[in-house]
Structure 1
Amino acid sequence: MITVIRRAWRYLVFALSGRLSELSDPRVQIEQAVEEAKEQHRLLSQQAAAVIGNEHELQMRLTRALEETERLQANARQAVLLAEQARAAGDERKAASYEDSARAFATRLVAAETALQEARLLHERARQSSAQARAAVETNAMALQRKIAERMRLLSQLDQAKMQERLNRAMADLSGLAPAGDVPTMDEVREKIEKRYARALGEAELTAGSVEARMIEVERAAIDVEGAARLEAIRESLALERKPGRNEPPDPAP
């Protein structure tokens, strides 16, 4: 039972992940990937800075240990010289005191040399770690630059894809291949107009064949005949008015 539940849970997670990936905006996903890369580079730079800082700190400790070793060695040598001078002068007690000081300086010199050797080993390891950290930061910086350039290319390609999709939808709408939606296609509009035009022609044919239409044609013909007679009468009256009188000379022949 537990195995079945686990399989069902994995299937549900995988299905939801795939659906979320389909619904996600590619532009947002690209920006998320670049921001994640920038954050990783920032953390890596901080770690590299800590490693390089440790190298510088060990370098300062090594310098101090070296200076301390040289100082103790010089003091021990000076104490030995003073002890020999006191012994040569016959002052054994003073020579013994210088011998004790030289012995103390020598003991501290041994401890300082041991610390110096350890500081050198630590500094060498820190130097190698710093070199690796610098190389890692440089490599990651180059990878980040490539991702930024890839982001520009992908965003440009995404804009081109969106433009091509809009163009494809527009061409599909013009060709009538687009599915019916909120906006009708050209074919649907043309079909609707043709239906209305055909119906209007049919109604005109029915109206022209009716009795009322014949009566209107007869009345129109009578009106046309009467108008022609009236026009002829007007012409005749105009011709009588243009004839010359008895005392008026006739118009010269053309």
Structure 2
Amino acid sequence: MANPFSKGWKYLMQSFDSAIDENADPKVQIEQAANAAKEQHNAITRQAAEIIGQKKQLEIKLNRLRETQADQQAKTKTALQMADKAAAEGDSAKAQEFNNTAEALASQLVATEQQLADLTTQYGAAEQAAKQAEEEQRRSEARLEEQLAEVNRLRAQVDQANMQEMSAQAMDTIGQFNADDSVPTLDGVRDKIERRYATALGQQELAESTATGAEGVMAEIEAGQAGADVAATSKLAEIRAAMEKEAATAGELTPGTESGGAQGVEAGQSDASAKPEHD
């Protein structure tokens, strides 16, 4: 049965890691990923350098063993030549001594050749490992270049996202500003001006209409008055003609008659002046 405390601890750690990932700064995470990629490449490079160094070290040993082998071969040949010369001269003791020396040198040469064979095998494996390490280091370098290019692209994308978020926040802030009620708006001022202008136009139109009507009434009154004057003048002319006719018929008028005639004239004038008013 699983330990509940261990299970709960793992759950809390996983939840904590998830919360960190959600709230972490993308730029920091990008830098962490870039540093991890660089560190991995550096580790591969160091490992490749060590493998190549081992190959170089084996190569140095091989060269030294080859020199030792050549020297031992030369000394062995010299010892054999000296032994043969001593034997030819009849000096068997010295010949035996040179033969013993040649045998010792031959034993050393065999050991050297064995070491050389083993080291050659090791060098072959080291050389193959060095080639693989070089290839892996080149692949790691190419992979690092791709990762760094991706890092630069992500950095630019993060900057663009930050700018977009700032622009969106600025737009939201602008939208929160409301118009000040204590200050008149342009629309309200325009409506007020148009209303006053329309009222003034209405007053002007009404005044012009009233003036035109008054002029028409006065013209009608003046026309009627002119007609009345013409009628009165015609009536006076008619009365004078009648009076002259009566005077010519009667001859001389008496004072009473003149007085009556004057009264008749006044009555006629009164009738003439009253007639237009009746019309």
TM-score under structure 1 length normalisation: 0.66
- How do 1:1-254 residues align onto structure 2 when only pairs under 5 Å count? 3-174=3-174, 176=175, 185-186=176-177, 189-190=178-179, 193=181
Query: CA offsets, 1:71-93, max 9 Å, x none?
Result: 11111112112222222222222
Q: CA RMSD in A?
A: 2.3
Following superposition, the deviation at residue 170 of structure 1 comes to 3.2
In structure 2, what is the Cα distance between the partners aligned to 1:122 and 1:90?
A: 48
Q: Gaps (5+ residues) in structure 2?
A: 189-279
Q: Deviations over 1:183-226 (max 9, x none)?
A: xx13xx13x628x87xxx9xxxxxxxxxxxxxxxxxxxxxxxxx
CA offsets per residue over residues 99-119 of structure 1, 9 Å max, x none? 111111111111111111111
Asked which structure has the greater CA Rg, the reply is: 2
Shift of 1:3: 4.1
- Alpha-carbon spacing, 1:3–1:103, altered in 2? closer, same or farther (3 Å): closer
Q: 1:102 to 1:4 in 2, by over 3 A?
A: closer
Q: Report the alpha carbon displacement of residue 63 of structure 1 after superposing the two structures with TM.
A: 0.5
Q: Counterpart amino acid of 1:122?
A: Q
Stretches of structure 1 that go unaligned for 5 or more consecutive residues are: 177-184, 202-254
Helix, strand or coil for the counterpart of 1:90?
coil
SS in 2 for 1:160: helix
Q: SS where residue 181 of structure 2 aligns?
A: helix
Kindly, what percent of the aligned residue pairs are identical? 35
Distance 1:93 1:21 in 2: 90
Shift of 1:46: 1.9
* Post-superposition offset of 1:153: 0.1
User: 2:92 corresponds to which letter in structure 1?
Assistant: E
Task: Name whichever of 59-68 and 123-132 sits farther off.
Answer: 123-132
Give 2:225's aligned residue: none
Taking the aligned partners of 1:8 and 1:74, their CA distance within structure 2 comes to: 77
Task: Supply the distance in 2 between the matched residues of 1:76 and 1:48 (Cα, whole angstroms).
Answer: 41
Match of 1:205 in 2: none
Shift of the 7–93 alpha-carbon distance from structure 1 to 2, 3 Å rule, reads closer
* TM superposition score normalised by structure 2: 0.61
Query: Aligned-pair distance for 1:61?
Result: 0.6
Paired residue secondary structure (1:36) = helix
- Inter-partner Cα distance in structure 2 for 1:169 and 1:33: 29
For 1:241, the equivalent position in structure 2 comes to none
